């Protein structure tokens, strides 16, 4: 007789918004360390840099009984010059990568929020394995560059596909789908 191994709990509802609470920001940094330091080994100890001082952290939060429970995704956005916005450090917890909606929801809120704040061009350096996701979300590859000793694609979002969202602090809810 085979013993069934219980699956980990995955919420059916997620909140995607600007980080509002200290635990959300701390969770975003912890997730980035897990993904970019421990898993991918892009950075040795920590991935924080000068951009974090001016960036807006966006988080995807799992819910428990309808309340925010855990940071399971993050991305940051910043504007280094008027109208030019960048997204970076997109990370989704390993336990939630197969859900299929977390990464796209983070990207959508980042670009649409920047669009509402006067963005005329939204760029990101994307790891090659994520190019298809970004292309499906109406991004175009502009160039290939080396960052942190690895190839990345310089990509640009087509803002026509990202209507402005004026309240990133409230954000929106998203559900999960089978991957």
* pLDDT single digits (tens) 118-132: 999 999 999 999 999
- Torsion sign, CA atoms 11, 7, 22, 100: negative
Cα gap 171→21, rounded to integer Å: 14
* Listed residue (101, 128, 142) closest to 12, CA to CA: 101
Instruction: Tell me whether residue 8 is in a domain.
Output: no
Instruction: Tell me whether residue 102 is in a domain.
Output: yes
Burial of 170 (0-12, 13-18, 19+ CB in 10 A): exposed
What pLDDT sits at residue 178? 41
What pLDDT sits at residue 13? 83
Cα gap 59→176, rounded to integer Å: 16
Instruction: Tell me whether residue 178 is in a domain.
Output: no
Number of domains in the chain: 1
What pLDDT sits at residue 65? 80
* Listed residue (46, 96, 42, 50) closest to 74, CA to CA: 96
Q: Which residues of the chain have pLDDT under 70?
A: 1, 5-9, 11, 176-179
Cα gap 157→140, rounded to integer Å: 7
Instruction: Tell me whether residue 4 is in a domain.
Output: no
Beta-bridge partners for 75 = 58
129-to-18, 28, 150, 151 alpha-carbon distances in Å:
26, 22, 12, 10
What pLDDT sits at residue 179? 40
Strand pairing class (67-81; 56-64): antiparallel
Instruction: Tell me whether residue 5 is in a domain.
Output: no
pTM for this structure? 0.91
> Phi/psi at 157 (nearest 5 deg)?
-80, 145
- Per the structure, the complete domain to which residue 84 belongs is given by 13-171
What pLDDT sits at residue 12? 74
Cβ-proximal residues to 5 (8 Å cutoff; 6+ apart), any chain: none
Domain of 40, CATH number, reads 3.40.630.30
* Listed residue (41, 46, 47) closest to 76, CA to CA: 47
């Amino acid at each position: 007789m085979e013993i069934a191994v219980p699956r980990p709990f995955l919420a059916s509802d997620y909140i995607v918004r600007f980080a509002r609470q200290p635990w959300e920001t701390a969770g975003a940094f912890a997730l980035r360390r897990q993904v970019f330091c421990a898993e991918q080994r892009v950075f040795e100890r920590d991935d924080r840099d000068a951009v974090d001082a001016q960036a807006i952290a966006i988080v995807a939060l799992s819910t428990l009984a309808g309340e925010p429970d855990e940071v399971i995704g993050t991305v940051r956005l910043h504007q280094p010059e008027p109208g030019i916005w960048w997204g970076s450090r997109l990370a989704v917890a390993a336990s939630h990568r197969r859900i299929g909606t977390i990464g796209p929801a983070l990207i959508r809120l980042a670009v649409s929020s920047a669009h509402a704040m006067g963005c005329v061009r939204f760029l990101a350096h994307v790891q090659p394995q994520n190019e298809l996701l970004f292309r499906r979300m109406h991004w175009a590859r502009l160039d290939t560059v080396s960052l942190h000793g690895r190839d990345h694609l310089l990509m640009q979002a087509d803002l026509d596909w990202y209507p402005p969202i004026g309240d990133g602090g409230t954000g929106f809810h998203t559900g999960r789908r089978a991957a």
